[in-house]
Chain A
């Protein structure tokens, strides 16, 4: 799974800590998601979608390993 959460976060001028608080997870979790080490649950993905004001597909997508 590829993601551009870091970019979306930068657009909204949010730190990892800010995003973590907004979606109710720890900063370590945001960091792991951004680095592609952890695939978030649907609930967390939808919360991020709400914060970024964009559909999940805009900042998360399948890569060749997932197909």
Chain B
């Protein structure tokens, strides 16, 4: 794994997915926030795919690797964590609803968010190696 970044991302996902922050969890639900998801996704897309000053195969490889990490984190966020939250809620006898996150733009936003975070981390590591 790549340092502490998965823990930060997973902690973020737990907070959002378990609805610990009601207003924030609404961000990921339904199609209602189209006006927010679309510009955010487009912004994150351009951030991830923006050409580096000295673009070459290394950065292409890092971007690809970051996307793969993003996909992995998204699967965890979409499937595993809500399932754990659901099991935990049932265990405590509390009602729990899965976030309506599947099949909407929030998934794309989440994927791009994770990919950008991972890519940023890779670039940080690269700069650190230079020292």
- Do A and B interact with each other, yes or no? yes
Chain A contacts to B: CB under 8 angstroms: 24-29, 31-32, 35, 37-38, 40-41, 44
| Min CB–CB distance B127 → chain A (angstroms) | 8
| Min CB–CB distance A25 → chain B (angstroms) | 4
Chain B's interface size range is: 10 to 19
B56 & A29 in contact (Cβ 8 Å cutoff): yes
Closest 6 CB pairs of A and B: A26-B54, A29-B58, A25-B56, A26-B56, A29-B56, A41-B57
Subset of 22 A-B contacts with CB under 8 Å = A25-B54, A25-B57, A25-B58, A26-B52, A26-B55, A26-B58, A27-B54, A28-B54, A28-B58, A28-B126, A29-B58, A31-B129, A31-B130, A32-B58, A32-B126, A32-B129, A35-B129, A37-B129, A38-B61, A40-B57, A41-B57, A44-B57
Q: How far is the CA of A31 from the CA of B54 in the complex (A)?
A: 14
Chain B contacts to A: CB under 8 angstroms: 52, 54-59, 61, 126, 129-130
- A sample of 10 more A-B contacts (CB under 8 A), given A29-B57, A29-B58, is A25-B54, A25-B58, A26-B52, A26-B59, A28-B126, A31-B130, A32-B58, A32-B129, A35-B129, A41-B57
Provide the residues of chain B in CB contact with A32, threshold 8 Å: 58, 126, 129
Provide the residues of chain B in CB contact with A24, threshold 8 Å: 56
B57 & A28 in contact (Cβ 8 Å cutoff): no
